[in-house]
Protein backbone atom coordinates (compact mmCIF):
# COMPACT_ATOMS: atom_id res chain seq x y z
CA UNK A 1 0.00 0.00 0.00
CA UNK A 2 1.04 3.61 -0.51
CA UNK A 3 0.24 6.14 2.20
CA UNK A 4 0.89 9.83 2.39
CA UNK A 5 2.41 11.65 5.33
CA UNK A 6 1.47 15.34 5.10
CA UNK A 7 3.26 18.27 6.68
CA UNK A 8 1.47 20.49 9.17
CA UNK A 9 1.34 24.09 10.19
CA UNK A 10 0.01 25.52 13.43
CA UNK A 11 -2.77 28.07 13.03
CA UNK A 12 -2.23 28.89 16.68
CA UNK A 13 0.43 27.69 19.11
CA UNK A 14 0.15 28.88 22.70
CA UNK A 15 2.37 27.84 25.58
CA UNK A 16 0.28 28.17 28.71
CA UNK A 17 1.54 30.16 31.66
CA UNK A 18 1.43 27.24 34.07
CA UNK A 19 4.24 25.36 35.85
CA UNK A 20 5.61 22.55 33.65
CA UNK A 21 4.07 19.14 34.35
CA UNK A 22 6.51 16.20 34.43
CA UNK A 23 9.09 18.44 32.76
CA UNK A 24 6.75 19.52 29.93
CA UNK A 25 5.07 22.84 29.26
CA UNK A 26 1.39 22.62 28.43
CA UNK A 27 0.36 23.85 24.98
CA UNK A 28 -2.90 24.67 23.24
CA UNK A 29 -2.66 24.65 19.48
CA UNK A 30 -4.78 24.28 16.37
CA UNK A 31 -2.94 22.19 13.80
CA UNK A 32 -3.59 21.77 10.09
CA UNK A 33 -2.37 19.28 7.51
CA UNK A 34 -1.18 20.67 4.17
CA UNK A 35 -0.44 19.00 0.83
CA UNK A 36 3.35 18.95 1.10
CA UNK A 37 3.73 15.21 1.72
CA UNK A 38 6.21 12.42 2.23
CA UNK A 39 5.03 9.09 0.82
CA UNK A 40 5.41 5.60 2.25
CA UNK A 41 5.19 2.28 0.44
CA UNK A 42 4.47 -0.62 2.79
CA UNK A 43 4.76 -4.23 1.65
CA UNK A 44 4.73 -7.59 3.48
CA UNK A 45 8.12 -8.93 4.49
CA UNK A 46 9.73 -11.55 6.72
CA UNK A 47 11.43 -8.93 8.90
CA UNK A 48 11.10 -5.20 9.30
CA UNK A 49 13.18 -3.19 6.83
CA UNK A 50 13.16 0.53 6.10
CA UNK A 51 14.58 2.41 3.14
CA UNK A 52 14.62 6.20 2.97
CA UNK A 53 14.87 8.16 -0.25
CA UNK A 54 15.76 11.81 0.24
CA UNK A 55 17.94 13.99 2.49
CA UNK A 56 17.56 11.85 5.60
CA UNK A 57 18.91 8.55 6.87
CA UNK A 58 17.09 6.22 9.25
CA UNK A 59 18.90 5.83 12.57
CA UNK A 60 18.27 3.48 15.47
CA UNK A 61 15.93 5.94 17.18
CA UNK A 62 14.09 6.96 14.00
CA UNK A 63 10.40 7.55 14.70
CA UNK A 64 9.38 5.18 11.90
CA UNK A 65 11.40 2.35 13.42
CA UNK A 66 10.09 3.13 16.90
CA UNK A 67 6.50 3.17 15.60
CA UNK A 68 6.97 -0.23 13.99
CA UNK A 69 8.55 -1.67 17.14
CA UNK A 70 5.64 -0.37 19.20
CA UNK A 71 3.14 -2.25 17.06
CA UNK A 72 5.36 -5.31 16.79
CA UNK A 73 5.65 -5.91 20.50
CA UNK A 74 6.73 -9.49 20.96
CA UNK A 75 8.19 -9.63 17.46
CA UNK A 76 7.35 -12.08 14.74
CA UNK A 77 5.98 -9.65 12.19
CA UNK A 78 7.72 -8.15 9.19
CA UNK A 79 7.26 -5.49 6.56
CA UNK A 80 9.25 -3.48 4.06
CA UNK A 81 8.79 0.28 4.27
CA UNK A 82 10.14 2.76 1.76
CA UNK A 83 9.89 6.41 2.78
CA UNK A 84 10.25 9.08 0.12
CA UNK A 85 11.06 12.34 1.89
CA UNK A 86 9.83 15.65 0.56
CA UNK A 87 9.10 17.52 3.77
CA UNK A 88 12.22 19.39 4.97
CA UNK A 89 13.68 17.83 8.11
CA UNK A 90 13.70 19.68 11.47
CA UNK A 91 11.84 22.64 9.97
CA UNK A 92 8.81 22.73 12.28
CA UNK A 93 6.59 21.03 9.69
CA UNK A 94 6.26 17.69 11.50
CA UNK A 95 7.61 15.39 8.81
CA UNK A 96 9.08 12.74 11.12
CA UNK A 97 5.96 12.62 13.28
CA UNK A 98 3.76 12.36 10.19
CA UNK A 99 5.84 9.46 8.86
CA UNK A 100 5.48 7.68 12.21
CA UNK A 101 1.71 8.16 12.23
CA UNK A 102 1.48 6.79 8.67
CA UNK A 103 3.44 3.71 9.72
CA UNK A 104 1.13 3.17 12.70
CA UNK A 105 -1.91 3.32 10.41
CA UNK A 106 -0.36 1.22 7.66
CA UNK A 107 1.07 -1.58 9.80
CA UNK A 108 -2.08 -1.70 11.91
CA UNK A 109 -3.92 -2.60 8.70
CA UNK A 110 -1.22 -4.80 7.15
CA UNK A 111 -0.83 -6.88 10.31
CA UNK A 112 -4.57 -6.97 11.04
CA UNK A 113 -4.13 -5.64 14.56
CA UNK A 114 -7.49 -3.90 14.72
CA UNK A 115 -6.41 -0.93 16.85
CA UNK A 116 -8.86 1.98 16.85
CA UNK A 117 -7.84 5.47 15.76
CA UNK A 118 -7.95 6.54 19.40
CA UNK A 119 -5.66 3.70 20.44
CA UNK A 120 -3.18 4.52 17.66
CA UNK A 121 -3.16 8.13 18.85
CA UNK A 122 -2.45 6.99 22.40
CA UNK A 123 0.43 4.88 21.17
CA UNK A 124 1.71 7.74 19.04
CA UNK A 125 1.85 10.02 22.08
CA UNK A 126 4.70 7.94 23.40
CA UNK A 127 6.68 8.61 20.23
CA UNK A 128 6.30 12.38 19.95
CA UNK A 129 3.90 15.18 20.79
CA UNK A 130 2.80 15.74 17.17
CA UNK A 131 2.20 12.08 16.28
CA UNK A 132 -1.36 11.85 17.71
CA UNK A 133 -2.49 14.77 15.56
CA UNK A 134 -1.22 13.09 12.39
CA UNK A 135 -3.23 9.96 13.20
CA UNK A 136 -6.33 12.16 12.70
CA UNK A 137 -5.15 14.77 10.15
CA UNK A 138 -7.23 17.67 8.89
CA UNK A 139 -7.90 20.47 11.37
CA UNK A 140 -7.64 19.65 15.08
CA UNK A 141 -7.14 21.12 18.52
CA UNK A 142 -4.22 19.64 20.47
CA UNK A 143 -3.70 20.19 24.18
CA UNK A 144 -1.44 19.03 27.00
CA UNK A 145 1.85 18.05 25.38
CA UNK A 146 -0.10 17.58 22.14
CA UNK A 147 -1.43 14.15 23.10
CA UNK A 148 -5.03 15.29 23.68
CA UNK A 149 -6.46 15.75 20.18
CA UNK A 150 -9.95 17.00 19.36
CA UNK A 151 -10.84 16.90 15.65
CA UNK A 152 -12.49 20.11 14.48
CA UNK A 153 -14.68 20.95 11.49
CA UNK A 154 -12.45 21.23 8.44
CA UNK A 155 -10.99 24.69 7.94
CA UNK A 156 -12.06 26.35 4.73
CA UNK A 157 -9.64 25.51 1.89
CA UNK A 158 -6.68 27.85 2.21
CA UNK A 159 -3.64 28.37 -0.02
CA UNK A 160 -0.25 29.28 1.35
CA UNK A 161 3.42 29.60 0.51
CA UNK A 162 5.86 27.62 2.67
CA UNK A 163 9.52 28.59 2.96
CA UNK A 164 11.97 26.27 4.75
CA UNK A 165 15.36 27.95 5.34
CA UNK A 166 18.47 25.76 5.63
CA UNK A 167 19.01 26.90 9.23
CA UNK A 168 19.83 24.49 12.04
CA UNK A 169 19.70 24.76 15.82
CA UNK A 170 21.04 21.85 17.91
CA UNK A 171 18.56 20.65 20.56
CA UNK A 172 16.04 23.01 19.01
CA UNK A 173 12.95 22.14 21.02
CA UNK A 174 14.65 22.30 24.41
CA UNK A 175 16.38 25.57 23.60
CA UNK A 176 13.24 27.19 22.19
CA UNK A 177 11.24 26.42 25.31
CA UNK A 178 14.09 27.53 27.55
CA UNK A 179 14.23 30.88 25.76
CA UNK A 180 10.57 31.72 26.34
CA UNK A 181 10.02 34.76 28.57
CA UNK A 182 6.99 35.43 30.81
CA UNK A 183 5.48 37.67 28.13
CA UNK A 184 5.44 34.71 25.70
CA UNK A 185 3.10 32.64 27.87
CA UNK A 186 -0.65 33.02 27.32
CA UNK A 187 -3.89 31.62 28.71
CA UNK A 188 -5.12 29.75 25.64
CA UNK A 189 -7.81 32.28 24.78
CA UNK A 190 -6.35 33.01 21.33
CA UNK A 191 -6.72 29.36 20.43
CA UNK A 192 -10.24 29.28 21.86
CA UNK A 193 -11.20 32.24 19.67
CA UNK A 194 -9.73 30.54 16.61
CA UNK A 195 -11.63 27.32 17.36
CA UNK A 196 -14.88 29.32 17.65
CA UNK A 197 -14.20 30.80 14.21
CA UNK A 198 -13.57 27.37 12.68
CA UNK A 199 -16.75 25.98 14.21
CA UNK A 200 -18.68 28.97 12.86
CA UNK A 201 -17.32 28.31 9.37
CA UNK A 202 -15.36 31.55 9.12
CA UNK A 203 -12.33 31.63 6.76
CA UNK A 204 -8.83 31.61 8.19
CA UNK A 205 -7.22 35.06 8.21
CA UNK A 206 -3.87 36.44 9.31
CA UNK A 207 -5.33 38.27 12.29
CA UNK A 208 -6.38 35.08 14.04
CA UNK A 209 -2.99 33.34 13.84
CA UNK A 210 -0.55 33.25 16.76
CA UNK A 211 2.70 31.48 17.63
CA UNK A 212 4.39 31.75 21.02
CA UNK A 213 7.79 30.95 19.51
CA UNK A 214 7.87 33.70 16.92
CA UNK A 215 9.98 36.15 18.95
CA UNK A 216 12.30 33.39 20.12
CA UNK A 217 12.79 31.97 16.62
CA UNK A 218 13.92 35.25 15.10
CA UNK A 219 16.48 35.57 17.89
CA UNK A 220 17.63 31.95 17.81
CA UNK A 221 17.93 31.39 14.06
CA UNK A 222 20.51 33.70 12.54
CA UNK A 223 19.38 35.25 9.23
CA UNK A 224 15.76 34.10 9.60
CA UNK A 225 14.66 37.69 9.17
CA UNK A 226 16.11 37.62 5.65
CA UNK A 227 13.68 34.85 4.72
CA UNK A 228 10.77 36.75 6.21
CA UNK A 229 11.80 39.80 4.21
CA UNK A 230 11.95 37.72 1.02
CA UNK A 231 8.33 36.61 1.52
CA UNK A 232 7.22 40.18 2.18
CA UNK A 233 9.10 41.43 -0.88
CA UNK A 234 7.29 38.79 -2.96
CA UNK A 235 3.94 40.23 -1.88
CA UNK A 236 3.03 38.29 1.26
CA UNK A 237 0.71 40.28 3.52
CA UNK A 238 1.99 38.68 6.75
CA UNK A 239 4.58 36.03 7.55
CA UNK A 240 4.05 33.36 10.22
CA UNK A 241 6.30 30.80 11.90
CA UNK A 242 5.55 27.10 11.33
CA UNK A 243 5.71 25.21 14.62
CA UNK A 244 8.96 26.06 16.38
CA UNK A 245 10.58 26.96 13.06
CA UNK A 246 12.57 27.77 11.17
CA UNK A 247 10.01 27.23 8.38
CA UNK A 248 7.78 30.20 7.59
CA UNK A 249 4.46 30.50 5.77
CA UNK A 250 2.27 33.18 4.25
CA UNK A 251 -1.43 32.92 3.45
CA UNK A 252 -2.90 33.78 0.08
CA UNK A 253 -6.50 35.00 -0.23
CA UNK A 254 -6.85 32.49 -3.08
CA UNK A 255 -4.77 30.14 -5.22
CA UNK A 256 -3.81 32.79 -7.78
CA UNK A 257 -2.57 35.21 -5.12
CA UNK A 258 -0.55 32.52 -3.35
CA UNK A 259 0.91 31.34 -6.65
CA UNK A 260 1.94 34.90 -7.52
CA UNK A 261 3.85 35.20 -4.24
CA UNK A 262 5.46 31.80 -4.81
CA UNK A 263 6.58 32.72 -8.33
CA UNK A 264 8.01 36.08 -7.25
CA UNK A 265 9.78 34.64 -4.21
CA UNK A 266 13.58 34.97 -4.28
CA UNK A 267 14.81 33.60 -0.94
CA UNK A 268 18.52 33.56 0.00
CA UNK A 269 18.36 29.74 0.07
CA UNK A 270 16.21 26.89 1.29
CA UNK A 271 13.10 25.35 -0.25
CA UNK A 272 9.80 27.00 -1.14
CA UNK A 273 6.48 25.26 -1.75
CA UNK A 274 3.03 26.29 -2.92
CA UNK A 275 0.56 24.38 -0.77
CA UNK A 276 -3.07 24.14 0.25
CA UNK A 277 -4.77 22.77 3.33
CA UNK A 278 -5.90 19.16 3.43
CA UNK A 279 -9.01 17.70 4.99
CA UNK A 280 -8.70 14.66 7.23
CA UNK A 281 -9.93 12.39 4.42
CA UNK A 282 -7.31 13.80 2.05
CA UNK A 283 -4.55 13.56 4.65
CA UNK A 284 -5.32 9.90 5.40
CA UNK A 285 -5.80 8.74 1.83
CA UNK A 286 -4.03 5.64 0.60
CA UNK A 287 -3.56 3.72 -2.63
CA UNK A 288 -3.37 -0.01 -3.23
Of 205, 211, 280, 196, nearest in space to 250 by CA: 205
Whether 205 sits among the annotated catalytic residues: the reply is no
Q: How many CB atoms lie within 10 A of CB 122?
A: 14
Rg (CA), the chain: 18
Whether 254 sits among the annotated catalytic residues: the reply is no
Give Cβ neighbours of residue 59 (< 8 Å, ≥ 6 apart): none
Pairing assessment for the beta strands 210-211 and 2-15 based on DSSP bridges: parallel
The CA distance from 151 to 78, in Å, is 32
Is the Cβ–Cβ distance between 240 and 248 less than 8 Å?
yes
Q: Active-site residue among 38, 62, 130, 172? A: 130
Of 193, 205, 192, nearest in space to 160 by CA: 205
Q: Active-site residue among 8, 38, 62, 172? A: 8
The CA distance from 140 to 263, in Å, is 30
- The catalytic site residues sit at 8, 130
Amino acid sequence: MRLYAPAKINWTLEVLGRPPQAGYHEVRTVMQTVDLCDSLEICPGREFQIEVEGPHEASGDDLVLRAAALLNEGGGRGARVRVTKRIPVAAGLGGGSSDAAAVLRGLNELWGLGHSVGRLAEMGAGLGSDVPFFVYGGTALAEGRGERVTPLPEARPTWLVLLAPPLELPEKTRRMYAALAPADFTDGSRTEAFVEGIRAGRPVDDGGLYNAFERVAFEAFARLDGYRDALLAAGARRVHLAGSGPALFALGPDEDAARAVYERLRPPGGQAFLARTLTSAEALRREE
